[in-house]
């Protein structure tokens, strides 16, 4: 699906906000609303009014599409005429209490030496809306054979040996070794048995780590008790001097 509608700027300018709707583009990927802001030089300009009117159209666009059975994220692209506008709308774009994730606001301003934001509107809108699924690399999930899993575990073991985190590397190495041992069992090569073998190995490793943690805690508690027992009793004389 692709719906593109260009608006007449002269007939769609919002009074008081200097905001002009120039284009609405809807595809299967998202909906993009393009706006232009007139220069704020020499006149009063209310950034809150401009932001809220852009938000109003985005929410209207979202609700209209939802009523038609098409759910898609909505993006508002606003071409700013000067830096103060860009900075003000940039603050609104980062105000999550305001937009609540209902749409995304992106102000555009390239400065005096860069390309004008008005020419960037159509380019960015097309890039957003035309990110077709066909351009994404397909992901295929296939069951991994025990031999392939063992090779990956061996590679992880080699990476673990180079780790600078001694304690974390020990736990990780023990887990990988348990998985590697499980994959060496003949039963792991039977249909549907590989997952069970790995689950048992992980459960055994978890139990072992928990036992180690309890042992360390008990040793620390005994050390504290021993230190308290060996400490000399504290005494102080608080009687008044004669």
Nearest in space to 111 (alpha carbons), one of 147, 137, 85, 131 = 85
Q: Of 64, 98, 133, which residue constitutes the final position of a domain? A: 133
Q: What is the pLDDT of residues 164-179, one digit of tens each?
A: 666 667 778 888 888 8
Query: 129 with 175, same domain?
Result: no
Query: 50 with 80, same domain?
Result: yes
Query: 55 with 19, same domain?
Result: yes
CB atoms within 10 A of CB 25: 22
By the 8 A CB rule, do 35 and 79 touch? yes
Query: 110 with 178, same domain?
Result: no
Rounded CA-CA distance 129/25 in Å is 7
The boundaries of the domain holding residue 33 are 2-133
Q: What is the pLDDT of residues 105-137, one digit of tens each?
A: 988 886 655 555 556 777 777 777 665 544 555
Query: 83 with 31, same domain?
Result: yes
Query: 9 with 79, same domain?
Result: yes
Rounded CA-CA distance 135/128 in Å is 13
234, part of any domain = no
Which residue in this structure is represented by tokens 């030496």?
113
Q: What is the pLDDT of residues 174-231, one digit of tens each?
A: 888 888 887 777 665 565 667 777 788 888 888 888 888 888 888 888 888 787 777 6
Per DSSP, the three-state class of 237 is: coil
- Structurally, the chain folds into a number of domains equal to 2
Rounded CA-CA distance 211/217 in Å is 10
192, part of any domain = yes
57, part of any domain = yes
């Amino acid at each position: 699906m692709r719906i593109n509608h260009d608006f007449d700027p002269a007939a769609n300018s919002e009074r008081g906000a200097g905001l002009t709707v120039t284009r609405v583009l809807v595809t299967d990927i998202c909906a993009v609303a393009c706006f232009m802001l007139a220069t704020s030089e020499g006149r009063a300009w209310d950034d809150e009014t401009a932001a809220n009117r852009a938000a109003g159209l985005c929410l209207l666009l979202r609700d209209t599409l939802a009523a038609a059975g098409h759910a898609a994220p909505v993006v508002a692209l606003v071409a700013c005429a000067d830096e103060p506008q860009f900075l003000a709308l940039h603050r609104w774009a980062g105000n999550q209490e305001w937009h609540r994730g209902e749409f995304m606001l992106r102000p555009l301003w390239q400065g005096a030496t860069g390309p004008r934001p008005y020419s960037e509107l159509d380019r960015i809108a097309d890039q957003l809306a035309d990110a077709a699924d066909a351009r994404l690399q397909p992901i295929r999930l296939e069951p991994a054979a025990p031999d392939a899993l063992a090779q990956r575990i061996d590679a992880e073991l080699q990476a673990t040996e180079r780790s600078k985190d001694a304690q974390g590397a020990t736990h990780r190495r023990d887990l990988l070794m348990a998985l590697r041992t499980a994959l060496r069992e003949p039963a792991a090569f039977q249909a549907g048995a590989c997952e069970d073998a790995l689950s048992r190995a992980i459960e055994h490793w978890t139990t072992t780590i928990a036992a180690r943690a309890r042992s360390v805690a008990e040793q620390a508690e005994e050390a504290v008790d021993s230190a308290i027992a060996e400490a000399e009793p504290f005494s102080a004389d608080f009687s008044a001097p004669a």
